[in-house]
Amino acid sequence: MTDTAACWTALENAPTATLKDLFAADADRVGRYSATLAVPGSDILFDWSKTHLSDDLVAGFEALASAAGFDTARETMLNGGMANPTEGRAAEHTAQRGMGADESVAEADAFHMRMRGLVEAIHGGVFGPVKHLIHIGIGGSALGPALAIDALARPTAEWRAPVDVHVVSNIDGNALEAAFEACDPATTMIAVASKTFTTIETMTNAASAIQWLEESGVADAYGKVVALTASPDKAVEWGVDETRVLPFSESVGGRYSLWSSIGFPVAIALGWDGFAEFLEGAAAVDRHFADADGFANLPLRAAFVDLMYVQLRGCQTRAVFAYDERLALFPDYLQQLEMESNGKSVLADGSPLGRQSAPITWGGVGTDAQHAVFQLLHQGTVEVPVDFIAVKQPGHDLDPEHHAILLTNCFAQGAALMAGKDSDDGARAYPGNRPSATILCEKMDPATLGALIAFHEHRTFANAVLLGINPFDQFGVELGKQIANQIAAGEGEGFDPSTEALLKTAGLKD
C-alpha cells in the first residue's frame, strides 16, 4: 500500500465514541478543540469540540497530511509554484494579499493601485455624478462581490455607501431588468467582469446594459463601462477604453478572484480603505496558514473534521447556517468554492480517486432555517455535520433583545443536536450525537469577512491536498456550456430524444 493508503486504513480502524463520551472523558475538551484566530481589530473563535474528532483521529490525520505532502503542497501554492498541473499554471490568489512570488505580488500591487486610482476618480466626480454601479459577471465574478457588498455595504443610520451597487449574474432578463429599474441611467456605471471577456451570459447581459444606456439617452454608453478581466485586449476590442480596463493575472482563478480587480465593486461601495482592510484580514489568515503546522493550523484542522465525516462516517453533505443576515449569501459562496474546487473523481495525475471527494455544501440563514430544514438535522435518518456562523456584535440599532434571541437560538441548536432527548413517543424522540462546529466572529467588518473567506479557501485547499486532487481546475462546468453554445449556433445534432423534444417544444429547434 502507498503511504496515504496505510494512513487511511489506520484512520478507518481508529476507535470511535459518542460526543457525550468524548466530553465525559476530557474535562478540557472545549479548550483543546477550540481556537482563536487573530484578525486585525478583532478575533474569530472556532469551536470543534462538538464534532467526533478525537486525539487518535488527529494523530491519524496529521500522519496523512505528512504522507500526502501537505507542507510541500502548501509551500508550492503560497510561493507561486505549479499548484494547478492540469492547466499548467500557478494559483496566485494569495499574491493579491501580499504572499507569493515577488514578481506576482508586485504585479498585484500595481493592479491594485490602478484600481484604486479609478475608484478614487469615480468617488471624486471625474466621471460626473455616479450614484449606481451595475456589476455584471457570473460564478466567481459575481458571487464574491455580491457576498461582500451584502455583508458590508448595508446602509445604517450613520453611513450609506457612496455608490449603490447591484450585482447581476443570471442570464434571465428579469435579473437585469430589476437592476435597470433601481438605477438612473444618467448616474449609472457598468462593470463587466469576465476573466476571458467571452463568457456568454456576462457578455449578453453587458450588451443589453449598453443598449439600455443608449436607449435612455446616454451619449457615450461605452464610456460608462469598466472592464474587470484577465484578457484586457478583448475588453478594448469590445469597446472599453484602455484607461477603464482593470486587469488581473491569468493565474488567479475565478472563484478565488474577489481579491483582484473583480473586487472593484466592493471598493466602490466601501471606499479604498475598506477594501484594503478586506485584503488585510485575508492576509492575516494567509500568515497563519503558512506558519502553523498540524493540528495548530486551523484550516487544516477544519479539513480533518471535513474528511472525518465524509470518509470515515459516510456523510454526503455539509450544512452551513449563518446566524447573521449580513452573511445570508455565505452558504451560496461556499457552494461554489468547495464543490467547484473539490467535486472531482480523479487524482491530480488523472488516475481514479477511489473514494468520496467533496460533500454537497448547502445551508441557509438562522433562524429561518430552523423552521424549514432543521427537522431533518434533528430527527432525519442521515448524519449531517453542521457549521454555525455567528457574530457577537449586531449590525443594527434595534433593541438588543433581537440579537440575544438570535445568538441564543444558534447556540441552542448545537446543544440540541449533540444532546438529543429520549422519549417513549418516537415522534418526540431526538437521537442526539449529531455534530456541529461553531465559528463566532467578534464583529462583521471588512477585515473579519476577508479572514472568514480566506479561512475557507485554505480549508478547501487542505481537503484537496489530503485527498490528492487538484482544486484549481473546473472542467466539469465546461461540457454543458459547450453543448449550449452548439445549440445556439444551430450546430447541435443527435441529442437524446428527451432533449430533442424539449428544444422543439421551447421553439429552439424546428
- The answer to whether the Cα torsion of 199, 90, 465, 461 is positive or negative is negative
Query: Distance of alpha carbon 233 from its chain centroid, rounded?
Result: 29
Q: What span, in angstroms and rounded, lies between the C-alpha atoms of 139 and 202?
A: 10
Peptide bond into 187 cis (omega under 30): no
Pull the grid cell for residue 99: 504572499
Which residues of 351-435 form beta strands (DSSP E)?
Answer: 360-365, 386-391
| Pair type for strands 245-247 and 225-229 | parallel
Concatenated DSSP letters for 119-152?
A: HHHHHTTTTS---EEEEE--THHHHHHHHHHHHH
* pLDDT surpassing 80 at residue 490: no
Helix (H, G, I), strand (E, B) or coil at 218: coil
Can you tell me the mean pLDDT for 138-156? Answer: 96
Residue 455 host element (H or E): helix 446-467
Q: For residues 386 and 331, is the Cβ–Cβ distance under 8 A?
A: no
What percentage of the chain reaches a pLDDT higher than 90? 93
Q: For residue 371, indicate whether it is catalytic.
A: yes
Q: How confident is the model at residue 2 (pLDDT cuts 50, 70, 90)?
A: low
Model confidence band, residue 492 (pLDDT cutoffs 50, 70, 90): low
The label of the residue with cell 438612473 reads 184
Residue 1 pLDDT > 60: no
Looking only at the bridges linking them, the beta strands covering 188-193 and 225-229 are: parallel
pTM: 0.97
CA dist 135 and 39 (Å) reads 29
Q: Is 421 in the active site?
A: no
- Write down the mean pLDDT value for the chain: 96
Nearest one of 306, 337, 303 to 435, comparing CA atoms: 306
The dihedral through the CA atoms of 293, 299, 302, 307 has a sign that is negative
Q: Of 402, 382, 375, 377, nearest to 391 (Cα)? A: 402
> Among 158, 371, 491, 493, which one carries the catalytic annotation?
371
Note whether 329 and 147 are within 8 A (CB): yes
State which amino acid sits at residue 309: Y
Residue whose C-alpha cell reads 489568515 in the numeric block: 285
Partners of residue 35 on adjacent β-strands: 46
Mean pLDDT of 68-92: 97
- pLDDT for 489: 78
Alpha-carbon span 34 to 49, nearest angstrom: 7
Bridge partners of 509?
none
Q: Which residue has the cell 464583529?
A: 443
CB 200 within 8 A of CB 170: no
Q: Which secondary structure element, helix H or strand E, spans residue 274, and what is its range?
A: helix 272-291
Give strand pairing partners of 323: 390
pLDDT, residue 359, reads: 97
62, 201, 338, 340: the catalytic one is: 340
249: left (phi over 0), alpha (psi -120 to 50) or beta: beta
Give the C-alpha separation, 121 to 301, whole Å.
44
Could you tell me the maximum CA-CA distance found in the chain, to the nearest angstrom?
75
pLDDT digits (tens, 9 = 90+) for 400-428: 999 999 999 999 999 999 999 999 999 99
Does residue 86 have a cis bond before it (omega within 30 degrees)? no
12 given a catalytic annotation: no
User: Which pLDDT score is estimated for 484?
Assistant: 84
Task: State the pairing for strand pair 42-47/436-441.
Answer: antiparallel
Question: Please, which pLDDT band fits residue 479 given cuts at 50, 70 and 90?
Answer: confident
What is the arithmetic mean of pLDDT over 165-181?
A: 97
Burial of 81 (0-12, 13-18, 19+ CB in 10 A): middle
- Report the C-alpha gap between 234 and 152 in whole angstroms: 32
Q: Which residues are 37's β-sheet partners?
A: 44
Confidence at residue 481, expressed as pLDDT on a 0 to 100 scale: 81
Secondary structure of residue 46 in the 3-state scheme: strand
Residues 6+ apart with CB under 8 A from 224: 127, 188, 189, 190, 213, 218
For the segment 264-273, the average pLDDT, to the nearest whole number, is 98
387 pairs with which residues across the strands?
320, 437
Q: What is the pLDDT of residues 291-306, one digit of tens each?
A: 999 999 999 999 999 9
59 CB-contact burial (10 Å; exposed 0-12 / middle 13-18 / buried 19+): middle
Hey, what's the torsion of the CAs at 162, 150, 118, 233, to 10 degrees?
Answer: -150
Give the three-state DSSP class for 407.
helix
**What is the per-residue pLDDT across 314-354, written as a single tens digit (0 to 9) for each?**
999 999 999 999 999 999 999 999 999 999 999 999 999 99
* Helices vs strands, H then E, count in the chain: 20, 11
